[in-house]
Amino acid sequence: MRSFLENLLNPIIELFFRLCCLKSERQLRNNPRKRVLLCVRNQLMYGYVSRVWEAYNHKDEYEVYLCYIVRAERALFVLYKNIWTLARAENLPVIPHSVADKINWDLIICAAPNDMSFSFKDEIPKVMIQHALVGTKIVRGCWYPYIPHFCFKKNGEAVFNSIFETNQYMYDIVVKEDSRFASCIDMAGGLAADQLLSKKSERDSIRREMGFVPDDFVILVQSTFADSLMEDFGVDLFRTCRKICDEKGYKFIISLHPEHLVGEYSKKHPWGKRAEQFASPNFVIKKIEEPSCLSAIACDLCVSDHSSMCFYAALLDNPLVLYMPPKAGIAVPILQPLLDACPSFERIEDLESVIEDSKCSYVSGERQHIIDMYISHQGEAATRINTIFDRLLSNEK
């Protein structure tokens, strides 16, 4: 909830933000070029959206603008500080949503279903991309991001002209539950997966840049937020991993969810700050700006909960140890094939023995059939994305 001071200051901050955007607004109204709007709510989402747009071969024909989605429960000062930091770093003009929803955009791209809750014009093509290799969350009783309340209007028409999906497995689950999605889901492949595999050949140089030598055995420990590895075990996770690090000589990379590192959530769940207390040259805490794919490529073994990042380890053919939070059991159906193929643990006391078992028993290639199921059309994502964008931008329905 907002504080009294935030409620008092927010109108002033909103006005100041609008004034700062005037230059971008004038540029937008006077610019005859075709234009695309990227709708995001934080820097993480921007990374997902921009990566997809960058894959489009004709992107240089379009002027790109940034619209930052304001979440009511967040302090405006923090939000606008973040957006200007992002806009300066990426050299992008910023447009307030109160202006953006009146513009005839050629295309709007977002990475979350509720980012289209504003009244953008119906005739504008709208795309929602996936911001994970494979979705593993249930929201409002639906597989995220396929939430009917946000994806369909009251008259039943689809909000999105295209929803990118990485795999046929998820498509079949979603369409079976709500057949309306069949008309708006496009099989776009896994761009993140393709890019990850393309960098695998750089593993030796990536490890050197991270300070690891060839003989190091590197363990990546990663967690999502809320019901998660981090929040179920707390500081005991750090103590246990640091103990293994000191006694076994293994190197660790600790990768926490951005919600644990910055923003309002991290104030009540400051696991990023707690992790820093255990940091050492052999116990590295991944910074928020560092790409997760580099840690996944550098590691020899991964410990993960139901974070969608666990698929990185599987895709790279690394040993994977899984922890499924009891309260996250609803996400098991989509993860079950991977859970069945990987060792897992329930108590933090068992982590060391499970790591040792996985290290010794893993057989390379034994999970390929699972990867083929989760990520369809491997190596084809860029081509498929270009085909979809060409269709939407040429006004073909």
Above 50 in pLDDT, residue 19? yes
Residue whose pair of structure tokens reads 């083929």 in the numeric block: 372
Q: What is the 3-state secondary structure (H, E, C) of 115-153?
A: HHCCCCCCCCCEEECCCCCCCCCEECCEECCCCHHHHEC
- Strands 34-40, 62-68: pairing is parallel
Amino acid at 304: S
What mean pLDDT do residues 361-367 have?
89
Above 80 in pLDDT, residue 85? no
CA angle, 187 then 193 then 197, to 5°: 140
pLDDT value for 397: 43
Dist. CA 122–CA 160, nearest whole Å:
10
Q: Which of 50-54, 116-120, 161-165, 175-179 has the lowest mean pLDDT?
A: 116-120
pLDDT value for 129: 94
pLDDT tens digit string along 88-129? Answer: 778 888 887 778 888 889 999 998 887 765 678 889 999 999
Specify whether the CB–CB gap between 221 and 278 falls below 8 A: no
What are the beta bridge partners of residue 110?
Answer: 39, 128
pLDDT value for 71: 53
What mean pLDDT do residues 68-80 have?
55
pLDDT value for 205: 97
Give the chain's mean pLDDT. Answer: 86
pLDDT tens digit string along 226-271? Answer: 889 999 999 999 999 999 999 999 999 999 998 899 877 888 999 9
Phi then psi dihedrals of residue 128, to 5 deg: -115, 120
pLDDT value for 329: 56
Structural domains of the chain, with CATH: 22-190+378-393 (3.40.50.2000), 203-374 (3.40.50.2000)
pLDDT value for 336: 82
What mean pLDDT do residues 2-29 have?
64
